[in-house]
Amino acid sequence: MNGILFRDVRLLDLAAPKGMTSICALRTKNGRIHEIAPTLVPNAGEDVIEGNGNLLMPGLINGHFHSSVTHMKGRLPGLPLEIFMLYECPELEVLRPTPREAYLRTMLGCIEMLKTGTTAVQDDCFFVPEPEPEIIDAVMQAYTDSGIRARVALDQPELSELEKLPYLTEMLPDDQRRQMSLPSRTKSQTLLALYDHLINRWHGTADGRIKAAVSCSAPQRVSPGYFSALDDLSQRHDLPHYAHMLETKLQRVFGEECLNGRSLVQYTKDLGLLSDRMNIIHSIWVDDKDLDLIAASGASIAHNPISNLRLGSGVMPFRAIRDRGIPVCLGVDEAIADDAINMWSVMKTAGMIHNLSGWDYENWPSATEILTAATVGGGHAMREPGLGSMALGAPADLVLLNLKTLPFTPLNNLQRQLVHCELGTSVLAVMVSGRLVVQENRLIHVDEESLVGEARMLFEEKSDAFERADKAVSKLLPHYRRMYHKAATVDVGMERRLEVFTRDKAIL
Ligand SMILES: [Zn+2]
């Protein structure tokens, strides 16, 4: 692949006093950063991008995402996860997408990410009502066509709803209990066959830009046998393994009630499945013992601060995690729980929310820590060596950022202005794997206008289906509310929310 020469740029350098290098030139070759020098002369026929003294930095990495609900942004009010999921992903036939819908919703996410300087994503893709090869292919094709770097897993629980949640067995009337004790319609053998399809057809395609991952969704949502088979797959192909853990207080209570007092982290460790390939997603209601186990395993934690606020899940213990050296990446989670797909707002929120966690302000996250999590932290979680750095030989996933825009005028402190001022509007050009994908605020390789127009028309026509699905929730809602409130009253020995300001106790 031909290289591209960036001239007259400053490179992000978090260790430098000003956060960037002096003016220099950078050449890419074969999809990687090939050469950096004060000046470089173009080779014959080489494309040159004039940087005009602006900033060349690693692309941001969306370390945790579900593309499945990108078309549902703004649909739901703030709701706790367990209630939220009733609306978000019921196994209803009426919500089955066509391959074209799956393609378009994935592409909407790619467009929003690429235009704001996110160059890589880990998609923990779930499927309503069930995964099918045609839908998987449509998702993968969208990632391929858009030009973004993507890891994609199939996030599909196989246990019944009753097995995944505490209290429901005793709370539901007989007919609903029978209904909810049915296993998920997709069996583990089918899911493993679909993984074969994903890996054989897509893993390592587009010059290694498109890859597979595995996902148990969450330890309590799968049988130990399937969980272990996924770990085998992850080990065999060196794939990240995504697992949501201790996102909510109710999930902590689940361990007390259904796992003999063990946390989901301890349970995973006891199964022998906690590994450095694991991305532990959320990790809010963790205790010191959980964090020691995670640190010893080498796993990464995916932090989704906006989703955690949107669903009222709580504040992740950032400093306790970083003090143990646990690698952290940042994620959007999903467009229905953010509701943008913009890593700049994720960084800003991550840079502020932890200031409420303790009086010792020297322990609050620095802008450099947040930028590190959104770049090299993401590359580490994705198991892509060098990704997220500006090192020679690293993948050339780069963003040229205009330093003459309002967010950087005047330029007082680059790191802090990147985290707290910029929202993606200063992006001049985006490169993934050495290939330009965005220039002049337009995607180069897809017809954005026509795709967005088609998506608007198609998904607006589906509003009836969403409303029918919402109605189906009403029978279950009172029982889920009781379950949620009962879990909220349990003393789990930690607090992760601002209880001092709430009147929840009165409601309970
Ligand atoms: Zn998630």
How far is the centre of ligand 1, averaged over its atoms, from the C-alpha of 247 (Å)? 9
How far is the centre of ligand 1, averaged over its atoms, from the C-alpha of 124 (Å)? 7
Q: Can you tell me the mean pLDDT for 82-95?
A: 85
Q: What is the rounded CA–CA span in Å between residue 414 and residue 335? A: 28
How far is the centre of ligand 1, averaged over its atoms, from the C-alpha of 312 (Å)? 14
Place of tokens 């840079």: 351
pLDDT value of position 499: 73
Average of per-residue pLDDT values in the chain: 95
How far is the centre of ligand 1, averaged over its atoms, from the C-alpha of 30 (Å)? 33
The domain that contains 185 carries what CATH number? 3.20.20.140
pLDDT at 1 over 80: no
Asked if residue 401 belongs to a domain, the reply is no
How far is the centre of ligand 1, averaged over its atoms, from the C-alpha of 195 (Å)? 19
Asked if residue 34 belongs to a domain, the reply is no
- Give 299-334 pLDDT, tens digit per residue: 999 999 999 999 999 999 999 999 999 999 999 999
Number of structural domains in the chain: 1
Q: Can you tell me the mean pLDDT for 355-378?
A: 96
Asked if residue 42 belongs to a domain, the reply is no
- For residues 154 and 136, is the Cβ–Cβ distance under 8 A? yes
Q: What values do phi and psi take at 328, rounded to 5?
A: -120, 135
Asked if residue 215 belongs to a domain, the reply is yes
Higher confidence at residue 185 or residue 140?
A: 140
pLDDT value of position 506: 43
Asked if residue 291 belongs to a domain, the reply is yes
pLDDT at 505 over 60: no
Q: Which of 351-360, 369-378, 461-470 has the lowest mean pLDDT?
A: 461-470
Q: What is the rounded CA–CA span in Å between residue 306 and residue 345? A: 8
Enter the pTM of the model. 0.97
Q: What values do phi and psi take at 325, rounded to 5?
A: 75, 15
Using alpha carbons, select from 386, 492, 347 the residue that is nearest to residue 28: 386
Asked if residue 38 belongs to a domain, the reply is no
How far is the centre of ligand 1, averaged over its atoms, from the C-alpha of 58 (Å)? 24
pLDDT value of position 186: 87
How far is the centre of ligand 1, averaged over its atoms, from the C-alpha of 69 (Å)? 11
How far is the centre of ligand 1, averaged over its atoms, from the C-alpha of 335 (Å)? 11
| Structural domain of 117 | 58-391+445-450
Q: Can you tell me the mean pLDDT for 254-274?
A: 97
pLDDT at 88 over 90: no
Q: Can you tell me the mean pLDDT for 269-275?
A: 98
**Omega prior to 131 cis, within 30 of 0:** no
pLDDT at 508 over 50: no
Q: What is the rounded CA–CA span in Å between residue 79 and residue 204? A: 38
How far is the centre of ligand 1, averaged over its atoms, from the C-alpha of 197 (Å)? 23
- For residues 46 and 16, is the Cβ–Cβ distance under 8 A? no
- For residues 25 and 8, is the Cβ–Cβ distance under 8 A? yes
How far is the centre of ligand 1, averaged over its atoms, from the C-alpha of 150 (Å)? 16
pLDDT value of position 468: 85
β-bridge pairing 278-282 and 300-303 = parallel
- For residues 336 and 69, is the Cβ–Cβ distance under 8 A? yes
Asked if residue 334 belongs to a domain, the reply is yes
Amino acid at 333: D
Place of tokens 């709370």: 171
- Give 371-427 pLDDT, tens digit per residue: 999 999 999 999 999 999 999 999 999 999 999 999 999 999 999 999 999 999 999
How far is the centre of ligand 1, averaged over its atoms, from the C-alpha of 423 (Å)? 22
pLDDT at 437 over 70: yes
Q: Can you tell me the mean pLDDT for 68-91?
A: 91
How far is the centre of ligand 1, averaged over its atoms, from the C-alpha of 279 (Å)? 11
Amino acid at 320: A
How far is the centre of ligand 1, averaged over its atoms, from the C-alpha of 173 (Å)? 30
Query: In percent, how much of the chain has pLDDT > 70?
Result: 98
How far is the centre of ligand 1, averaged over its atoms, from the C-alpha of 441 (Å)? 29
- For residues 388 and 62, is the Cβ–Cβ distance under 8 A? no
Q: Is the dihedral of CA 447, 451, 454, 456 positive or negative?
A: negative
Query: In percent, how much of the chain has pLDDT > 90?
Result: 88
How far is the centre of ligand 1, averaged over its atoms, from the C-alpha of 461 (Å)? 27
* Distance, first Cα to last Cα, the chain: 63
Asked if residue 25 belongs to a domain, the reply is no
pLDDT at 141 over 70: yes
